[in-house]
Structure 1
């Protein structure tokens, strides 16, 4: 009889957790209100670091994944983007993956896209990331990977931003496969010698059926904004500069790409 009662209790416990129930929020190992650094973690052959403002209770965190260029790694783009500064001020999770090859394949359905899908799963399951507010950005080759992932993983991303995409590998062909555009911000240096990325962005706009742009001037940059298919927005900054991550904290007279990226993402919510 005891065995029967025990089996019945186990069955009730299992049936109570149906597929329709929400997944529990992972308990974060941090002190609410404290800016917290996540030590390097491995995910397959890849690694990543992260930082976040520890939320109150079980609040989910908007998440910005930042991809390095080539040859480079997550810590280098972490330093150049200064995204931690914004993560602390605005309360989001900043994530910096490192590719073991020190570059990204820029394929919509390649090994690196599969890694990014696994990374999103891990961030949601273990790092408190909000699955509805996962954003992806990257520099140079990382910007190319961002554009390719926006094609292949668009249903997992709430928005994307490419900083001086360089058109590495076969990015243009990946963008030609775009079917459902997602919100996109792009940054182009007017003196950047690597112009292939501009052709990729033009192809994106063509595939996304973007209307004629509205343009504004910001002194050191020109901003163009488009409304694309299904009212999806795209913005592009033509910046007085070269092949760099533009700006830095405390430089109000120049464009800081990280701040413009976060403003673009938050405007989508």
Structure 2
């Protein structure tokens, strides 16, 4: 019969086995954490979709950004973006940097593509319904974002730059019942909006921004839109960006969202 091992030898063996097990578990834990980190880094921060939709027999295109943080959720704010003349939705995404803002702040971002890369710069007397197809496109997309992507119908925002800013003026005049707030970037007031008082269903707030060095659409041109909506009873703000020329001031993106965020349609306007 073998002699019993001293107590200290038994304790030492148990400790060695415990250390070995702990070390193995630690290695496994590190590997799992590393794997999770790699998956997190490789997993896209947002899904970007290029889609089209039929609106009154016309095929319309758009670019949708769905941040990972809001995918599958309900009650998500929606921002519609209107590009400048002869631009594509991808070009607007590039020069505005709005994709990153959507990811950081957690809202659906929809770039609408204009017909033939443009929006109507004005409404001529001989074609008073020129903007109607674009208004129908906007309304249809509002419904789609709510039904298919969890958009909040009371937090739908509109922004545009240059010709898209002018179109934002038009859409706000035509579809104010859908819009919680509008931001007009260096956009003029298209004729004939300034010829008669605007009759808007919802007095949504608007912010007009323009560069002090903008020679294409000078501040006075942008202010005409501000004044027209102010006369119609809308809360309006006007801001000149010192030293900036024509285009989208991406350095102002955070302030753009500060203006839009939290604005809601009144319940009766849904």
TM over 0.5: yes
Structure-2 change in CA distance of 1:57 and 1:113 (3 Å): closer
Contact 1:172 1:200 in 2 (8 A): no
CA-CA distance at 1:178 after TM superposition: 1.6
Ranges in structure 2 where 5+ consecutive residues have no aligned partner? 1-39, 124-128, 265-270
Matched, 1:48 2:70: no
Any runs of at least 4 consecutive aligned residues in structure 1 with deviations exceeding 4 A, and if so which? 106-109
Match of 1:25 in 2: none
CA-CA distance at 1:199 after TM superposition: 3.3
Show the 5 A alignment for 1:179-198: 179-180=199-200, 181-195=203-217, 198=220
Contact 2:74 2:151 in 1 (8 A): no
How big is each residue's C-alpha offset from its partner over 1:51-80, in whole Å with a ceiling of 9 and x where there is no partner?
122437643210111110111111111111
Query: Hey, what's the Cα distance between the residues in 2 that align with 1:155 and 1:116?
Result: 12
Query: Hey, what's the Cα distance between the residues in 2 that align with 1:51 and 1:203?
Result: 29
Structure-2 change in CA distance of 1:34 and 1:201 (3 Å): same
Q: Which of 1 and 2 has greater Rg? A: 2
Q: Secondary structure at the match of 1:173?
A: coil
Match of 2:153 in 1: 131
Structure-2 change in CA distance of 1:56 and 1:245 (3 Å): closer
Structure-2 change in CA distance of 1:98 and 1:136 (3 Å): same
Matched, 1:68 2:78: no
Match of 1:22 in 2: none
Matched, 1:236 2:238: yes
Match of 2:267 in 1: none
Structure-2 change in CA distance of 1:188 and 1:58 (3 Å): closer
Contact 2:229 2:236 in 1 (8 A): no
Query: Hey, what's the Cα distance between the residues in 2 that align with 1:202 and 1:166?
Result: 7
1:116 to 122, 126, 138: 138
Structure 1 length as normaliser, TM-score? 0.69
> What is the number of equivalent residue pairs in this alignment?
207
Contact 2:154 2:180 in 1 (8 A): yes
Ranges in structure 1 where 5+ consecutive residues have no aligned partner? 1-30, 210-227, 248-255
Matched, 1:149 2:171: yes
Contact 1:151 1:177 in 2 (8 A): no
Match of 1:268 in 2: 263
Q: Secondary structure at the match of 1:124?
A: helix
Show the 5 A alignment for 1:27-106: 35-44=45-54, 45-54=59-68, 55=70, 58-106=73-121
CA-based RMSD: 2.6
Structure-2 change in CA distance of 1:192 and 1:58 (3 Å): closer
Match of 1:245 in 2: 248
Query: Hey, what's the Cα distance between the residues in 2 that align with 1:85 and 1:241?
Result: 22
Structure-2 change in CA distance of 1:196 and 1:95 (3 Å): same
Give the number of the structure whose residues are more often helix, by fraction: 2
Structure-2 change in CA distance of 1:203 and 1:237 (3 Å): closer
